[in-house]
Amino acid sequence: MSDLEEPPRVLESGVGMKRALARWNQQLQRIHSPILRYSLSVACVALALGLALALQHYQFRDVELPVLCLAIAIVTWHAGIGPSVLAILLSTMSFNYFFIEPIHSFAVSTKDLPYFITFLAWGALVAWFSTVSRRIEAGLRLARDRLQTEVEHRAQREDEIRRLNRELAKRATDLEATNKDLESFAYSVSHDLRAPLRHLVGYSELLQKEASSSLDDKSRRYMQTILQSAKRMGNLIDDLLAFSRVGRAETQNSLVSLEQLVKEVVAELREETNGREIAWKVGALPACYGDRSMLKLVLANLVSNAVKFTRMRARAEIEIGCVDGKNNHEAEMFVRDNGAGFDMQYVDKLFGVFQRLHLAEQFEGNGIGLATVQRIIHRHGGKVRAEGAVDQGATFYFSLPNAQDAVERIRHDHTGTHFGR
């Protein structure tokens, strides 16, 4: 990783050095003191005039115009607009006084007027061109500085992204190891608890059978409470083992018809629903790619919950369907009932292990079903959510990737603590 971090630092130092050199060059090119700027204007025109006179002395003809224009360009480039105007005026006066007939006079004859005007126009053009060039250079320098700043910021952001990616990868690895340890611990503890619990139940039943006649009513009630609690704990351990197996089991993915799964689940619940009036409404359901047995367990838990929590209704209504959405990459199904419902302020606890929102005397269960649903759907790359109101029913939604996208999106469940109804 250190090799990845080195280029941004080298780039940053190189860019910083270039910017320092650019500022230094800019300081050399631009004189900020007004006295120095106007002194440079006078000095350049004086030097240009001396050079033009020397060249004229040695019989060089028509050199005064380019020499004075060069002085104007130098002043404009290094000193700015004000000194360039002064240079044009001084150059014009010098040109008129020393090089236009009558010599050593500021008068301009009609014959030399075009030549004089040409020099004035040429000097102004050179000054304007130098000003525009200076302005363009300043704009380019500003754009370069901005680009260099953006490069520096981007290098810093890339370095920060690499650092965050390393931290994220480390945390993901740690979380995966922790989850595996927790699953192994839960499986081992649950498995090891079954033997002593069987002994407790077995010997309690023997004691109840052998000593029942010698016990009073209170003692027999105590014995019955012990047996019921032990059996309930056995059910909890069985459910916890089943929940752990969901996270440890390998998925056998294939194309699954959810409509067929719903038919099978409803048929299996027929014995439980005998004698009850239940209005079933099953809509069109898509085919999804996933583990058939796990997805059947999802539907079995949700539908059996709907059957259980509508028990107090004279006419239960259970609807199973698919939500029409704009997301082409996944399908969202729902199971809706008109049962006991729940308070939405406790929705975060709904999918918790051993978390229940209703009393055990009202509705049986251990609070593992919805936690199992959430784990299975997460392993298939989907999401679970719920909506409801007290005594107004509940709706449970679960999403699954479409068959064409699911192969790439199915992943293992790496979530930590789960919650359940």
For the stretch 2-17, pLDDT in tens is 444 444 444 445 545 5
> In this structure, are 240 and 97 located in the same domain?
no
Nearest to 242 by CA among 393, 66, 376: 376
> Which pLDDT band holds residue 354 (cuts at 50, 70, 90)?
low
335 confidence band (pLDDT: 50, 70, 90): very high
Q: Do 222 and 279 share a domain, yes or no?
A: no
Q: Classify 208 in phi/psi space as left (phi over 0), alpha (psi -120 to 50) or beta.
A: alpha
47 and 148 in a single domain? The answer is yes
72 Cα distance to chain centroid: 58
Does 264 lie in the same domain as 145? no
Same domain, 115 and 244: no
Q: pTM here?
A: 0.49
User: Does a structural domain hold residue 185?
Assistant: no
CA 22, CA 149: separation in Å to the nearest integer?
13
182 inside domain:
no
Position 414 pLDDT exceeds 50:
no
Asked if residue 421 has pLDDT above 70, the reply is: no
State what percent of residues in the chain have pLDDT above 70.
75
Shared domain for 257 and 402, answered yes or no, is: yes
- The Cα 383–Cα 388 span in angstroms is 17
Q: What is the pLDDT of residue 47?
A: 92
Pairing type for strands 384-388 and 351-352 reads: unpaired
Q: Domain range spanning residue 232?
A: 190-248
DSSP annotation of 88: H
Reported for 94-98, long-range contacts at CB under 8 A and 24+ positions apart, including other chains, are 94/45, 94/49, 94/68, 95/64, 95/65, 95/68, 95/119, 98/49, 98/52, 98/53, 98/64
Residue 333 lies in a domain: yes
Q: Tell me the per-residue pLDDT of 121-142, one tens digit each, with 9 for 90 and over.
A: 776 777 777 677 778 888 888 8
Q: Is the pLDDT of residue 262 over 80?
A: yes
**Residue 173 counted as domain residue:** no
Query: Which CATH number do you get for residue 308?
Result: 3.30.565.10
Same structural domain, 146 and 206: no
What does the block give as tokens for 152?
């520096």
The total number of structural domains in the chain stands at 3
Instruction: Quickly list DSSP for 254-288.
Output: EEEEHHHHHHHHHHHTTTTTTT--EEEEE----EE
Q: Quick one: CA dihedral 309, 313, 316, 319, positive or negative? A: negative
Looking at the fold, whether 212 and 277 belong to one and the same domain comes out as no
- Among 149, 164, 179, the domain-final residue is 164
The answer to whether residue 108 is domain-embedded is: yes
- Indicate if 6 and 141 belong to the same structural domain: yes
Same structural domain for residues 57 and 151?
A: yes
Question: Would 73 be classed as within a structural domain?
Answer: yes
What distance lies between CA 333 and its chain's CA centroid? 27
Cα distance between residue 123 and residue 409, in whole Å:
73
Write out the two tokens for 245: 């197996």
Say which residues have a Cβ less than 8 Å from residue 100's Cβ, sequence separation at least 6. 108, 109, 112, 115, 116
| Contact assessment for residue 371 and residue 380, using Cβ atoms and an 8 Å cutoff | no
Instruction: Judge whether residue 319 has pLDDT over 50.
Output: yes
Where among 127, 148, 164 does a domain terminate? Answer: 164
What average pLDDT does the structure give for the chain?
A: 76
Q: Assess whether the previous peptide bond of 102 is cis (omega < 30° from 0).
A: yes
Task: Report the pLDDT value the prediction gives residue 161, as an integer from 0 to 100.
Answer: 92
Does some domain include residue 301? Answer: yes
Is residue 286 domain-shared with residue 391, that is, in the same domain? yes
Which of 226, 248, 270 is at the close of a domain?
Answer: 248
Does any domain span residue 174? no
Residues 196 and 153 reside in one and the same domain: no
Reported as a pLDDT band with limits 50, 70 and 90, residue 417 is very low
